[in-house]
């Protein structure tokens, strides 16, 4: 007789319990960056909407930022750290290729021996992490999960590069996800277009740097290409996320896109036809573009400034390097 394998199952629904945030310690105004790129505070504000960005001191790395954000999310969630059995970190700025940020953070916050892994989906990383945590819990592979987006982009920026240097900041945002009696995380619409991988990403490899063939690798982008893709193609993705969640734009309490550029955010909201009642995340003005951290950081700030949003629906969408994207509708804690 052939034995039958047991297969785990979990709860029907999940939700986000709480958010946590950590930003770099230093506010860097535009005037501090304009010299090497021969620009001005006015030009940066007009092109990006950024007034200042937060950057970490040399002693702080992406792991430290992730730890602080995770601790706040866990404390606010009411879930004991030792009940967390999965830690997922989205980042492109782990100071080491291994070990993972997630394993170190799990230990630091008291979640040892939680399953832990990092994922690299750039600015879409947080949305990817939420999708995976939701699936793991509903499959019975985890009970409670922490999802973190963390970046120290100041380590991989060339201050003389006019395409992206003035955009980037440092920070981390985290959520605790667990079982729910009602649906709290909608279906994720995600994907990529690797054929346009050169539009935004690193300009060199670590092996080229090691062999003396290139300077330290830094981020670069083709601004017009990214702008057009983000506005026109990602609006389609956002609409699909609304459709698959079974809601309309008018049902939303908040819209939290990746904080890439204020012009992109504003055009995005316009193309979606969002009513005036929808609060739009615009954390980029004082935090900068923090890649995988931008959605949870922006949502954390919205909830601090607008506690009445609690219990409402938020559409979040990430998009970035490798032209990777992910979107879902969630219920705000």
Query: Which structure tokens are listed for 302?
Result: 């919205």
Instruction: State the maximum Cα–Cα separation within the chain, in Å, rounded to a whole number.
Output: 77
DSSP class of residue 308 equals G
- Judging by beta carbons within 10 Å of its beta carbon (0-12, 13-18, 19+), is residue 59 exposed, middle or buried? exposed
DSSP class of residue 71 equals H
Catalytic residue selected from 30, 123, 261, 300: 123
Catalytic residue selected from 30, 94, 289, 300: 289
DSSP codes of every residue in 10-69: --SEEEEEEEEEEE-SEEEEGGGTHHHHT--HHHHHHHH--SEEEE--TT--HHHHHHHH
User: Rg for the chain (alpha carbons), in Å?
Assistant: 19
Paired residues of 313 in beta bridges: 331
Residue 289 known to be catalytic: yes
DSSP codes of every residue in 110-179: T-TT-EEEEE--GGGHHHHHHHHHHHHHHTTS-SSEEEEEEEEGGGG--TT-TTTGGGB-EEEEEEEEEE
**In sequence order, which residues have a C-beta less than 8 Å from that of residue 224 and are 6 or more positions away?**
none
Residue 326 to residues 82, 193, 217, 241: CA-CA distances in angstroms?
30, 12, 26, 9
Residue with tokens 């793991």: 136
- Can you tell me the distance from the alpha carbon of 55 to that of 76, in angstroms, rounded to the nearest whole number? 25
Residues with a known catalytic role: 123, 258, 289
């Amino acid at each position: 007789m052939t034995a039958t394998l047991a297969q785990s199952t979990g709860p029907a629904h999940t939700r986000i319990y709480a958010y946590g945030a950590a930003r770099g310690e230093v506010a860097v105004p535009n005037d501090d960056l304009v010299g090497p790129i021969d620009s001005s505070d006015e030009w940066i504000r007009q092109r990006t909407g950024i007034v200042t960005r937060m950057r970490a001191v040399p002693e702080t790395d992406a792991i430290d930022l992730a730890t602080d954000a995770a601790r706040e999310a866990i404390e606010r969630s009411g879930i004991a750290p030792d009940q967390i059995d999965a830690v997922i970190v989205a980042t492109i700025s782990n100071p080491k290729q291994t070990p993972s940020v997630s394993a170190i953070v799990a230990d630091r916050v008291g979640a040892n021996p939680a399953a832990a892994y990092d994922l690299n989906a750039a600015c879409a990383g947080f949305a990817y992490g939420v999708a995976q945590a939701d699936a793991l819990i509903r499959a019975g592979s985890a009970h409670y999960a922490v999802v973190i987006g963390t970046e120290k982009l100041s380590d991989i920026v060339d201050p003389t590069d006019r395409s992206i240097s003035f955009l980037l900041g440092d920070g981390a945002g985290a959520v605790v996800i667990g079982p729910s009696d009602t649906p709290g995380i909608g279906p994720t619409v995600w994907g990529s277009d690797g054929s346009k991988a050169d539009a935004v990403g690193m300009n060199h490899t670590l092996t080229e740097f090691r062999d003396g063939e290139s300077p330290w690798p830094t981020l670069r982008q083709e601004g017009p290409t990214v702008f057009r893709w983000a506005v026109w193609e990602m609006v389609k993705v956002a609409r699909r996320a609304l459709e698959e969640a079974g809601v309309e734009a008018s049902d939303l309490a908040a819209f939290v896109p990746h904080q890439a550029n204020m012009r992109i955010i504003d055009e995005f909201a316009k193309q979606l036809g969002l009513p005036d009642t929808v609060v739009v995340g615009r954390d980029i003005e004082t935090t900068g573009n923090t890649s995988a951290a931008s959605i949870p950081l922006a949502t954390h700030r919205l909830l601090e400034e607008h506690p009445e949003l609690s219990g409402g629906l938020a559409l979040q969408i990430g998009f970035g390097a490798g032209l990777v994207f992910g979107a879902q509708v969630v219920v705000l804690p």
